[in-house]
């Protein structure tokens, strides 16, 4: 696997800081099935692309 093809993951706190969404909201999205999380022991990791997909563009109404 090349470095370019390597998948990257982020923690809940990293995803929250990057997007401005609280960790509590991210945990709710995981619980309701809107966001896939990956667990390794006690650590929870998120795919940044999956996190970005839960953000929905709002039409400007013009």
Tell whether 61 is covered by a domain.
no
| Backbone angle region of 14, left / alpha / beta, with phi > 0 → left and psi within -120 to 50 → alpha | alpha
Residue 33's pLDDT is 96
Q: How many domains does the chain have?
A: 1
- Could you read off the pLDDT of 12-49 as tens digits, one per residue? 999 999 999 999 999 999 999 999 999 999 999 999 99
Which residue range is the domain that position 43 belongs to? 10-53
The whole-number pLDDT of residue 4 equals: 61
Does residue 59 belong to any structural domain of this protein? no
Q: What pLDDT is attached to residue 34?
A: 95
pLDDT band at 3 (very low <50, low <70, confident <90, very high): low
> Which pLDDT value is given to residue 30?
97
Decide if 35 contacts 52 (C-beta within 8 A). no
In the β-sheet with 43-46, what is the strand arrangement from edge to edge?
Answer: 10-11, 43-46, 37-40
- On whether residue 48 sits in a domain, the answer given is yes
pLDDT of residue 6: 81
């Amino acid at each position: 696997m090349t470095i370019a093809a390597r998948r990257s993951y982020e923690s809940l706190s990293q995803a929250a800081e990057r997007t401005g969404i609280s960790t509590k909201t991210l945990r709710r999205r995981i619980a309701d099935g809107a966001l896939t999380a990956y667990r390794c022991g006690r650590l929870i990791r998120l795919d940044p692309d999956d996190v970005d997909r839960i953000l929905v563009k709002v039409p400007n109404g013009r």
